[in-house]
Amino acid sequence: MNKEKVIDIQDLIVQFNSRQGKVTAINNINFDIRKGEVFGLVGESGSGKSTTGLAILQLLAKTGKIKSGKILFEGENLVKKDQRWINKKIRGNKISMVIQNPQNALNPVFTVGEQIIDVLKYNNYMHSSNKKDFKKKAIEILSEMGIADSNYRIDEYPHQFSGGMKQRVMMAMAFISNPSLLIADEPTTALDVTVEAQILDLLRGLVDKYQTSVLYITHDLSVIHEITDRTAVMYAGNIVEMAPTIELFDNPIHPYTKGLLSCLPGKNKRDEILPTIPGKVPGLANLPDGCNFCERCDESLPVCRDNEPELIKIKDNHYVSCFRYNEFQEGGD
């Protein structure tokens, strides 16, 4: 893939103050996203997926901060920019975000149309002050998102929309400014599978149309397989494996990635008990000295307990953080 990098995250470390002291939520991660690419970030709850998305937009909680690293976006290091500049130049303009629960993002006392028009005005999308022109454009946007009868639904309130329709409204607002990057943080988690499939189809169509890059954050491997081009697997603040999605599913190398994929139900496992990964994710305040996955790994070595493996390139576009990666490769090297 030779497309230009839209965003390039280098050696990013994010820490939070807690009652147990400072904890590292993101530990020295590196990845980039190319133009028009859907990049997946997958892992269990607490792995640092959502924190990564919030760090890009400088929306971390007051107790959190970026300790070090770079977030290079269109030639600018966002880590060095203040909130005022980020708010004016980046948020909702060049980088948009769609969250898991649209009910928390839509204002219940304003109509859907009023909220879309506010975004149009904020982004200076239209060279007009005519209210009819704004409303007409808002109707067109809703219609493009697949909302039927948008000419009268534009005057309805969020509570009159289903969960899937609210998410379509959020996507409409996210794409108004034709952003370079969309951060989609588990946007289909609260939806049923039929509506989820529709939203994913809509998102892929919008990506193809606008050539928008997407950081797709989820714990759902089936969604990752469906929509992403490349995927990074996170565990306890680290990226443990990163590869083109097809390669990751066909030839997983890290024991954690293998464990996740083995938990997926399939036709050949209908009468079998699904395997599980023993143990649980360690608390960020009590991470082991070596590999974070060591205590849950059946293939660990003595070196794993005292040393932290680096993310190393093992083949074209395939990276893994494991001391025994050669043994885990299909057929070995």
CB 285 within 8 A of CB 272: no
CATH architecture assigned to 33-61+81-276+316-328: 3-Layer(aba) Sandwich (3.40)
Amino acid 331: pLDDT: 45
Averaged pLDDT, 270-294: 83
pLDDT of 231 > 60? The answer is yes
Burial annotation 296-332 (CB, 10 A radius, 16+ → b, else e): bbeebeeebeeebbebeebeeebbbbbbbbeebeeee
Instruction: Supply 137's token pair.
Output: 């454009």
For the sheet containing 76-77, what is the strand order? 21-34, 5-18, 64-73, 76-77
* Mean pLDDT, range 284-298, rounded to an integer: 87
The answer to whether the beta carbons of residues 24 and 186 sit under 8 Å apart is: no
Q: Tell me the average pLDDT across 182-194.
A: 88
* pLDDT tens profile 135-160: 998 999 999 998 989 999 999 999 99
Between 313 and 286, name the one with better pLDDT: 313
Report pTM. Answer: 0.91
* 194 has a pLDDT exceeding 80: yes
Distance, CA of 13 to CA of 110 (rounded, Å): 39
Percent of the chain with pLDDT over 70: 94
When pLDDT is cut at 50, 70 and 90, the band that residue 330 belongs to is very low
SS3 83: helix
User: Is the dihedral angle over the CA atoms 82, 85, 87, 90 positive or is it negative?
Assistant: negative
Reported confidence tier of residue 329, pLDDT bands at 50, 70, 90 = low
- For CA atoms 234, 239, 245, 251, give the dihedral sign: negative
State the angle between helix axes of 163-175 and 131-144 in degrees (0 to 180), rounded to the nearest 10.
120
pLDDT digit string (tens) for 91-101? 988 999 998 87
